[in-house]
Amino acid sequence: MVNVFVYGTLRRGEVNARLLKNAACMAEQCWTNGLLYDTGYGYPAMTQSPSSRIYGELYSVTEEELERLDQLEGCQEGRNDNLYERIQQRVYTDKGAYRAFLYIASKENLVKRKIPGGDWKEHNLLLNKNDYVLYFAYGSCMDNKRFIEDGVTHYFQNMVGVGVVTNYKLRFTRRSFIDGMGRADIVEEGGRVEGKVYEIPVKTLKEYLYQREGAPKAYRPTFVTLEVNGKMVQALTFVVVNKQAETTPPDWYEQEIYSGANGFLSADYISTIKSHIHSLHSIHGDR
């Protein structure tokens, strides 16, 4: 078995994801250093760069699966006219770093338009600004108080249900520069997170959510696989870019989470949140 980092059409929900349907996904949220480009042919390409990030997924694959990926990427060992070259590079996940294979552009015509955010799926979504997307709210955005104050409730009218993501935990890894206290995040290290799933216009992202979440520096938009109404779907959410040691959230922020959760999320899950925040207060001695 070998590790492979994928950043384009091999990701979940993308056109070539079927090639990895039997492979073990080691991380849904991960990144490596590089620059990402839209080739103009319906798929992306990357080049190496130490100063930028590319986001994708990490899989453990067999040699046979790796051969199929080589065929897809037009990569053959020893050939001098490959479309992509397969190299090894360090990939970073919430659980740590791994060495993995990935494919970089081998032809100049692939490197056309830079994708600033480093995420192919986000890039494609924003191109279709008249479409709708499922949005997973797990923290203070579950409460509609600030939606009302900001005059954006019309974007969040269609709540389709309660979503559950597995292999994640709710944590407070974002230290606010305003008060030095924690803000919510989901961390891919086992567990279970519940939240509200809305169907929102794609334009909501740039017109409201990116600003509220401080994207792309504080939080970044990403995609998670979750269960809602008995179906497995992909939804957009936000995670902390540079995770820090957990810090207790301010009381008002904690209450926003409970206000949004009560009557929707399970009693057991709400109890788990309260217990975790209580433990943070005990650790930090602030209550």
What is the reported pLDDT for 79? Answer: 86
Average pLDDT of every residue of the chain: 96
Q: pLDDT class for 287, splitting at 50, 70, 90? A: low
User: pLDDT value at position 2?
Assistant: 97
Half-sphere exposure of 269 (CA within 13 A, CB side): 24
Look at residue 259 in the predicted model and tell me its pLDDT.
97
| Predicted pLDDT at 244 | 96
Residues 6+ apart with CB under 8 A from 206: 126, 129
Does the pLDDT value for residue 160 go beyond 70?
A: yes
pLDDT at 258: 98
Mean pLDDT of 127-152: 95
| Cα(102)–Cα(36) distance, integer angstroms | 13
The closest alpha carbon to 109, from 49, 35, 47, 39, belongs to 39
Structure tokens at 18: 């079927």
Q: Average pLDDT in the 3-22 region?
A: 97
What whole-number distance in Å separates Cα of residue 30 and Cα of residue 96?
10
Query: For residue 172, what pLDDT is reported?
Result: 98
Instruction: Name the band, by pLDDT with cuts 50, 70 and 90, for residue 284.
Output: confident
**Each residue's pLDDT tens digit, 27-36:** 999 999 999 9
**Mean pLDDT across 119-137:** 95
The average pLDDT across 81-95 equals 96
Which domains, from first to last, does the chain contain?
2-119 (3.10.490.10), 128-284 (3.10.490.10)
Q: Are 182 and 248 in contact (CB under 8 A)?
A: yes
Among 243, 109, 227, which residue's Cα sits nearest to residue 183?
A: 243
188 catalytic, yes or no? no
pLDDT digits (tens, 9 = 90+) for 177-202: 999 999 999 999 999 999 999 999 99
Report, as an integer, the average pLDDT of 51-80.
95
Please report which confidence band the pLDDT of residue 78 belongs to, taking 50, 70 and 90 as the band edges: confident
Lowest mean pLDDT among 36-40, 126-130, 198-202, 277-281: 126-130
Choose the catalytic residue: 194, 213, 254, 256: 213
At 215-269, the pLDDT tens digits run 999 999 999 999 999 999 999 999 999 999 999 999 999 999 999 999 999 999 9
Assign 112 a pLDDT band (cuts: 50, 70, 90).
confident
Count helices and strands in the chain by DSSP H and E runs: 7, 15
d(CA 221, CA 205): 9
pLDDT beyond 80 at 139: yes
Give me the percent of the chain exceeding a pLDDT of 90: 95
3-state secondary structure of 285: coil
